[in-house]
Every structure is written in structure tokens, then in C-alpha cells.
Amino acid sequence: MDNLAIEKSALQLGQLHNDVTAGKAFHSIVDRLGAIIDNEASLPRTKVTLPRIPTSFRHELLNLVGDGGQQGLVPVDNRFIKHLLDALQSTNRELRERAAFTALNGLLGQRLLTDEQLQMVIDHVTDNQILYDHILEPANRAVFGRSTALAGMAMLLYGDRHDYLRLTKDEVYQIMNKSLLVTALERDTRGFVKKAGWAHTFVQIANIDNELIQRDDLLRGDKLFLMATLLERYRRVYTPLIMGETESIVTFTVNLLNLHPIYQRFLLYELEQWQNALTAHLDSERDWTRVFNYRRLMQALAMDSSLPENVRKYLAN
């Protein structure tokens, strides 16, 4: 993991975030965020080392979830939780998605974890080594651990909002800040990966954002910055996003737009800048991919019946 490059982006992103929440930045957010993302380092591919999952635990986990899924879950010990969290990084879809993540979701939802075990989960999904390792490199196997960590963040926020677990304010802000940095850095846009299953980082990011904006303990500036960061990263994706990412981003965006007119004002400014930038260079496959990603997002927004009328009129024109 290139700590210096990631720390540089984190400091720049954090400063801009502070300026937004302090009311010192609004229109300048677009250019400043764009500069942070555009100047990120790109590193060559290196070997990804994943945790070894004991065969005995694989059998234990599969027996636990079994045919009954989450219904047959029982309290487990810390050793089991440690291996379960390691399994969330596996490239084996059956183990990662259908067993480990299903079990974790059930253990949380049925309140079967001790306080110590819940802290183990929080520590795992916010672990820098999982969230940022190999993130500046071309698409690689580390994305699955990152994606499930992001999904775990969304799960924790949902559980806290529905009162079956408790997050502190510091933990909520930690989740927000770390997911924001992943949003700015992420370049693995894959959806479903043959044999390995879902990567889907942009879907998970949108799910986290959608949870965060429903919280009363976040500032409007926080929520505005979540939208700005996701849209500025989306603008710079050069591969087709066609596996549900657009729909998830639209759900989050429309939900936010309906909370206060300030979000609508920012989106209209963002879209104007975005459209102008799109038509400036149309000379390559990458340029045209960005155009069609933009069109898919605008079409999905226009089709949402909850879209504020002023935004709908802008899109129609």
C-alpha cells in the first residue's frame, strides 16, 4: 500500500470537506475535488496476499449457514469471528458472499454478537489495510475484501439506524471519512467477475451514502460532500457502469435532493459543469464511454418519480 500517496489524498480531501462544512466552499467544490482525483497516483500491479482460510473453518461455516441460511445461526466464539472476517476477503464467491457475508448479516441482525465481537467487525470494515491496499493499482483481487468491507459499513449504519446495534458518533464519522476516501481513490469499476462474484464497489459506496444521509447527526455540508465526491468520481470513470451502479447512485441522489433545496442547487451546478466538460474532448473510446455513462445516469434520474421538479425541467432542456 502506497501510504504517502493515500495520505496526501486523505489530507486534501479532509481539508476540502472541512471547508464545505464550514461554508467556505460551494461552487469551488467541483474543481477542487476534480483536481484531487485527477492528481492521484497510479501504481503498477503488485501481488495481492489474502488471508488463508482453514479448511476446518470452511466446513464449520457452511454447516452453520447450511440450507437454512440465517435461520439456524447461534452465538459463536471470537475465533470464529476472526476467520469469518478473513473469509470476507476471499475470491471464492461461495465462501465470501453466500456463507461469510450471509452469516455476518444474520449474526448482526439477530443480535448474536458480543460487544467485543461487534468491535471486531467495526475494526475490520474500517481497516486501512483492507480498504486501501492495492487501490491505486489496476483491477486486482483486493477489491473483494474492499467491497465486502464497504458492504459491512452500510450494514452497520443500517443496524444503528434500526436500533439493533449501537455506533458512536466517532465511529459514524470514521465510516463516512473512510468511505469518502475510497470513493475518491477507487478505480476498480467491475460489477460481476467471472468465478469470483460481485466486486460492485460503486454500488456499495452509494449504499453507504444513502444510509449516511438519513442521519440527523450529520451536517448538511457532510451530505453535500458525499454527493459531490461520488459524482466527481463517477465523472472520471472510463469503463461502462452497467451492472446496477447507476440505479444505486440515483436512489441516493434523489433521496438527498428531497431533503433540502441546497442539494438541488449544487446538483444543477455540477451537471452544468459536467456537460460542458463532456463536449470538450470526444476523441477516444474513453471519452465516449464517459458520455454514455453520463447519459445513463441522466436517463435514470429523469425516470425517478421522486425527482424534484426543477431538476426534472433542467434534464428535459
Alpha-carbon 181 to chain mean position: 10
Nearest alpha-carbon partner for 185 in 17, 290, 33, 15:
33
CB atoms within 10 A of CB 84: 25
DSSP one-letter string for 205-236: HHHHHHHHTT-TTS-HHHHHHHHHHHHHHHHT
SS3 260: coil
How far apart are the C-alpha atoms of 156 and 94, rounded to whole Å?
A: 22
- CA triple 299-286-44, angle to 5 deg: 125
Nearest alpha-carbon partner for 200 in 298, 65, 295, 97:
97
Tens-binned pLDDT, residue by residue, of the chain (317 aa): 678 999 999 999 999 999 999 999 999 999 999 999 999 989 999 999 999 999 999 999 988 887 556 667 899 999 999 999 999 999 999 999 999 999 999 999 999 999 999 999 999 999 999 999 999 999 999 999 999 999 999 999 999 999 999 999 999 999 999 999 999 999 999 999 999 999 999 999 999 999 999 999 999 999 999 999 999 999 999 999 999 999 999 999 999 999 999 999 999 999 999 999 998 889 999 999 999 999 999 999 999 999 999 999 999 98
Question: Measured between alpha carbons, how far is residue 195 from residues 88, 141, 199, 209, 249 in Å?
Answer: 16, 12, 11, 29, 26
CB 245 within 8 A of CB 203: yes
